[in-house]
Amino acid sequence: MTFTQICNPIFEQVIKDYHLVDDVDQDIKNPYELGTIEYDLYVKNWIDTVQWHLEDIIRDPHINPVDALALKRRIDKSNQDRTDLVERIDSYFLTMYGGVKTQADATINTESPAWAIDRLSILALKIYHMQEQVLRDDATADHQALCQRKLDVLLEQKKDLSSAIDQLIDDIAAGRKYMKVYKQMKMYNDPSTNPILYGKK
């Protein structure tokens, strides 16, 4: 079984589980054992799914400004949690393939496996919600047809991205590529680098 054959069903399961209640404040009920990669993948997509809906809510043109600020802070925290999860998933790959001897002509990829998996997680959400638009009873036939064309592209993208991720992991396992993970350096969250927070005039 390839890694994306593990990822994709978990992402689909998360989105389905979330929409049983469809509430950004509901508790996560992760069915996987703590400490497993499956557990982390479930949490990863749960964060993405909740944030997807927070992003919808904050775009309400009639939202109370105080509520909007609170949502913005919540989205910022979600983005930090998302980045932390990506780094944890990359640590899984670093541990798994840390002993692999790289070939002399091995190359580095433009992104790590976990950041590619992050894109796959978001893509699962795009597919789910585009499918919703295709099936909308109150939408015009033109809208449904347009969304079906978009859905077809997203499904093709899922196939291509899954293949590329599995190939990257195979290449790392065989020493044809190597991982080099750069930790986050978000300056606006750091009170020592954000001038608003450290009081620069």
Q: What is the pLDDT along the chain (201 residues), one digit of tens a residue?
A: 999 999 999 999 999 999 999 999 999 999 999 999 999 999 999 999 999 999 999 999 999 999 999 999 999 999 999 999 999 999 999 999 999 999 999 999 999 999 999 999 999 999 999 999 999 999 999 999 999 999 999 999 999 999 999 999 999 999 999 998 877 767 777 777 878 777 765
The one-letter amino acid code at 90 reads: D
| Domain presence at residue 201 | no
CB 116 within 8 A of CB 4: no
| Domain presence at residue 199 | no
| Domain presence at residue 200 | no
CB 25 within 8 A of CB 186: no
pLDDT score, position 182: 77
Overall domain count for the chain:
1
Instruction: Classify residue 106 by its DSSP letter.
Output: -
pLDDT score, position 46: 98
pLDDT score, position 190: 75
| Domain presence at residue 197 | no
Distance CA 51, CA 55 (A): 6
Helix (H), strand (E) counts: the chain: 6, 2
Instruction: Classify residue 86 by its DSSP letter.
Output: H
pLDDT, one tens digit per residue, over 147-166 is 999 999 999 999 999 999 99
pLDDT score, position 200: 65
CB 120 within 8 A of CB 8: yes
pLDDT score, position 201: 53
Q: Which domain holds residue 180?
A: 3-192
